[in-house]
Structure 1
Amino acid sequence: MAAGAPDLELLRRYHERGDRRAREELIRRHLPLVRALARRYAGRGEPVEDIEQVGAIGLIKAIDRFELSRGVSLATFATPTVLGEIRRHFRDRGWAVRVPRALQELHAAVTAAVDRLGARLGRSPSVLELAREVGATVEEVIEALELGSAYAPASLDQGSEEQETDALEMLGHDEPGYARSEMRATIEPALRRLPRRERDILRMRFGLGLSQAEIARHVGLSQMHVSRLIRRALAAMREEIG
């Protein structure tokens, strides 16, 4: 699709004559496109206004890089640049803790696959279905889903709707999470020594809260076999922990 006549004239004025007003007009005309693209990422822990600002940077880059000989509209050319800038912002700046880039990208792929498969299937997809969709293992998908807690955590100054005091005032009280963390540190080494299939089953049972029947469907075994594997894995872990 050829560039629209008004846009093309403005682009010529900017690129051939260095007309900064033409550039400003192009930005103004295409900010609605940026806002529409930014709204796709609403509800992911970042204010929409901030996402729009990042998208606007992508729009400016697209205007500056546009080649008059391309024969496409500015909107068509700018869209992937704007989306790329927004995704880069979420990858590089949105994580509260340092997460490897490969896991960030898998987390993004799994999140998109949840929406895509949910629309296609009419229900929430299983972990196994997600793994097949993104070409990863069940264990990798579970790890990617757990990464959500590393992204945009709640502020310590933000209390819940049920409490009037902020979270900082609660730090002096006994925190049951410490015990859970200690328990996890004890369990993880024993869990890693289990066969991969048994690790996946335990994570689905106790990490995701799936029933034995649901797990059986995911891994292609009978419910009785899943039950035996869970008992065997727990017994092995108890023996390992001592």
Structure 2
Amino acid sequence: MSAVVASDFPYESFHVDEYYLSLAKEGDQRATEWLLDRYRPRVETWARRYFFRGAEAEDVIQEGMIGLYKAIRDFRRDRSVHFRAFADLCIHRQIESAVKTFRRKKHGPLNSATSIYTTIGERGESMLLDMLVDQRCPNPEREALARLFEDELNALVQSLSDLEREVLGYYVLAWPYAEIAKALGRSTKCVDNAIQRVMKKVRRIGA
């Protein structure tokens, strides 16, 4: 099959992702391939934020592409979330899952993986910060997070538990508590408690 290019489709516009997503949902393989090709550089950026001792860079990229494919498959337009932010979340979660599997299968620290996700990334911006910037809906908690400087945000992310980090990832995407709970297989009370713990850490860091 020949490469898919934008000119193969009727138009490019602000809503181009939604257009191709709608085609992909209808089973248009070329639209799916177009989206995979369009977002591959973003996957590669994510892959560079991870270092595997004993794994090839292409392996990390492949995991990221799996996450991107899942984002295309699972994206729902009825949520007030941009596809780019949702794709970031799916790519990150897929690579994180691969990291955990890799740790279990290999032995100990020599075959561990380090995520640059916790060090704010190459240009001083992390996924968390990107999503905060993308979310323009007024919310005191999100505004408090957005006001943190890079070093403070780094300290916050490093202080979070796995659950707190997962909950926060959905929270900054403006998912309702019930939806977060469903996605993580937790109770809404558990989600609320996790958010409260995060915000307590935000207040402590920002004090």
What is the TM-score normalised by the length of structure 2?
A: 0.45
Question: In terms of Rg, which structure is larger?
Answer: 1
Tell me: higher relative CO, structure 1 or 2? Use CA pairs within 8 A at least 6 residues apart: 2
